[in-house]
Chain A
């Protein structure tokens, strides 16, 4: 028995609309918004600036510092504002997903701050956050090897599907239940981040990674378009 998606999407289809915008926070050095389905993430980048507290300065290279925050009105039941176990983990994960591409060798003792706010949450917030953060970093003029695009793949019972929504992520419990696997890729196709808690076979994980890699290319094109069009008609 195969799983049929509730919203009528194909198994390898992402939610729509996918909207990306750049330069939405005028006070930040770089900023971006990324929306996929009902999930909206805003990222603002500040720096490079001097690292404070001084004891966390790295004299060899600059540091990337990410903070992920879900706003209290982002979900149906108000969530308690402020840092939580979950948001601390996602901050760290975002940082690790972006660290391989940012080149901060020429910024010793400095820090680049990335603040991610989730204004509307409907599953896949860390992926939306990473996508927004990558665009905001580029917009801030931070030297980067490549862009990062992130997408989640899930296993619903035994079927691999792309980009879970809220129902698929947290309410579906038939058979083996649902497993969420967020992944991030550079445009080169290299993986910078993978999270998995749940059971999956080796073959299925490979299938999932292939599916996510393909979808990340689509997201990359959207990010690219947003960055290129943010200046309006230059000529």
Chain B
């Protein structure tokens, strides 16, 4: 199988023992069947299904954007749009934090970029011990369908770099579908937002980067 194809649950993707079942697939007897609706892809004999729809599934290492909901005595509870709220522990914050001054770092209602450090039965644990993570002070946040996030980023960041360059803005794409745009002028930020919404709308056309380049030429004032 060289091309990617859409599969539905229960559909046989490959037969025989030449392939290994990857994510979203299962091996029953000689067949590799899809366990979910999406695009089936094969690389290095590993068959997997890339989801095209549905809710965001948190994974370790993902950078996401969320809203602080609760302050506890040892950390923050952050809503990242998943079934389980994320917990940011005091220990995961760089530098010294006064236990009485949690709200000085982040208060209820603040938005923050965080990285998922682990997922367990009780919920999602996040950290801000990395560059570019932490409270969001300025800019705008756009919400998009989480399944379109790979399209906004593009192959090795080609799409997002193009948008960043053209709008002179700094953009952080959370895997959960929140996009943080920070530019010098509000016009730049709104222009970047427009570009991102254009990408999500046209997400299924091939040669999307070229299309977006054309769009920028047409819409640039």
Using a CB–CB cutoff of 8 Å, the interface residues on chain B facing chain A are: 3, 6, 8-11, 24, 26, 33, 35-38, 51-55, 83-84, 121, 204, 206
- Knowing A110-B83, A232-B204, the reply to whether A141 touches B51 (Cβ < 8 A) is yes
Minimal beta-carbon separation of A234 from chain B (angstroms): 6
Beyond A49-B55, A235-B3, list 6 extra A-B contacts (CB 8 Å): A29-B53, A48-B55, A138-B37, A139-B54, A141-B55, A223-B8
- Knowing A108-B121, A186-B10, A187-B10, the reply to whether A144 touches B53 (Cβ < 8 A) is no
Minimal beta-carbon separation of A17 from chain B (angstroms): 21
Contact B10 A188, beta carbon cutoff 8 Å: yes
Residue A101 interfacial (CB < 8 Å): yes
Q: Choose from A59, A139, A147 the contact partner of B53 (Cβ within 8 Å).
A: A139
* C-alpha gap A108/B26 in the complex (Å): 21
Contact B38 A231, beta carbon cutoff 8 Å: no
**7 closest cross-chain pairs (CB), A and B:** A141-B54, A146-B10, A144-B9, A138-B37, A50-B83, A143-B35, A49-B83
Residue of B nearest to A186 (CB): B10
Residues on A with beta carbons closer than 8 Å to the beta carbon of B51: 141
Chain B residues touching A, majority SS: loop
Residue A37 interfacial (CB < 8 Å): no
* C-alpha gap A23/B204 in the complex (Å): 15
- Knowing A108-B121, A187-B10, A231-B6, the reply to whether A142 touches B54 (Cβ < 8 A) is yes
Residues on B with beta carbons closer than 8 Å to the beta carbon of A210: none
Residue A228 interfacial (CB < 8 Å): yes
* C-alpha gap A138/B49 in the complex (Å): 13
Residues on A with beta carbons closer than 8 Å to the beta carbon of B84: 50
* C-alpha gap A186/B10 in the complex (Å): 9
* C-alpha gap A30/B38 in the complex (Å): 13
Residue A140 interfacial (CB < 8 Å): yes
* C-alpha gap A229/B51 in the complex (Å): 15
Q: Which of B3, B84, B121 has the most CB of A within 10 A?
A: B84
Residue A224 interfacial (CB < 8 Å): yes
Interface residues of A in 105-145 (CB under 8 A from B): 107-108, 110, 138-145
* C-alpha gap A70/B51 in the complex (Å): 32
Minimal beta-carbon separation of B217 from chain A (angstroms): 25
A and B contact pairs by CB, cutoff 8 A, 18 listed: A23-B53, A47-B55, A49-B83, A50-B84, A138-B9, A138-B36, A140-B55, A141-B52, A141-B53, A143-B24, A147-B9, A188-B10, A224-B8, A227-B6, A227-B37, A228-B6, A231-B52, A231-B204
Contact A227 B55, beta carbon cutoff 8 Å: no
Residue A103 interfacial (CB < 8 Å): yes
* C-alpha gap A49/B84 in the complex (Å): 8
* C-alpha gap A223/B10 in the complex (Å): 12
Contact A29 B8, beta carbon cutoff 8 Å: no
